[in-house]
Amino acid sequence: MQIRLNSPLDMHLHLRDEDMLKVVAPLSSKSFSGAIIMPNLVPPVTTKEELIAYKNRILEAIGDDNFTPYMTLFFKPTYTKEFLSSIRDELTAIKLYPAGITTNSEGGLSGFDINELRETLTAMSELNIPLCIHGETNGFVMDREAEFISIYEKLASNFPKLKIIMEHITTKESVEALDKFDNLYATITLHHLLITLDDVAGGMLEPHLFCKPIAKRPEDREALREVAFSAHPKVMFGSDSAPHPQHTKEATHCSAGVFTSPIALQVLTELFLEHSSLEKLQAFVSDNAQKIYSNIEVPKKVVILEKKGFKVPMKYGEVVPMYAGEKLKYSILF
């Protein structure tokens, strides 16, 4: 049995930099047509020169693969319309991080005063630049995303022409928010469709499943599955694949992130098949994203998956993937 996917896209991807970039970038570029690249390097990507230089390093790392890195800037409330206009042809979206909420987000936003954000968000609205948000407060870890919904609502109502992407949603409250405003959209990860907090910490701690936002309750996972398996037009696949060296995951201060790039399409295929939703997979991994990000040009690529066992390597470089050492039911036919 073979399954065909046309131009699959990953709308939330961490590629890191330097040696890590060289290891992980080809793992995405071989099987995806493109990806939204996160800007939270050290230091973060905030200028045109940094964005173009990072894009060139990605293109060098992937070689001849038919893959487009869709570049983003790290949000600053000082971006002017003049500056954004000058970079518009190179820029796909801007990523907003609350300060200190996740990996390399220390330079993020400390408050959400609409007046302080108005100039930049108005310019983004006028230039049709989507705003991607890591939506968590600094509250109790299980409540952070639900608490952030009021901020999404404030932004959506004050800037109705601004496309707002709720990144890697994990709660039923976020799913419910999707249909409250025309300009709210969302990405959903593979791992949040699979796991709950019980898988992370219900028995022995599983550091390679620890991520931010943390996995939630079974009822939250069911809400995510309902919109993903039905290919709700406002949701799209974003892996949030976040590589860290093994020694920083298996450590006292465990880094947050699940590395799924090498297995994403194989496991999604199996998951959608198990839930009698295979006909919706194409929309979830490509078609919806192309409609939401209406300005992107997507390379044509056909990915064929076949029912053939694939043993997941224990490591890629220094990074341990999800399902390391386990055998998957589907393989990508290269």
Three-class SS of residue 93? strand
143 a catalytic residue: no
DSSP codes joined into one string, 153-179: HHHHHH-TTS-EEETT--SHHHHHHTT
Catalytic residue among 10, 220, 240, 287, which?
A: 240
Three-class SS of residue 227? helix
Q: How far apart are CA 151 and CA 113, in angstroms?
A: 10
Beta strands in the chain (DSSP E): 2-6, 9-13, 34-37, 68-70, 72-74, 93-96, 131-133, 164-166, 184-188, 235-237, 302-306, 310-311, 327-328, 331-333
Helix or strand holding residue 144 (H, E): helix 144-158
Q: Catalytic positions, please?
A: 240
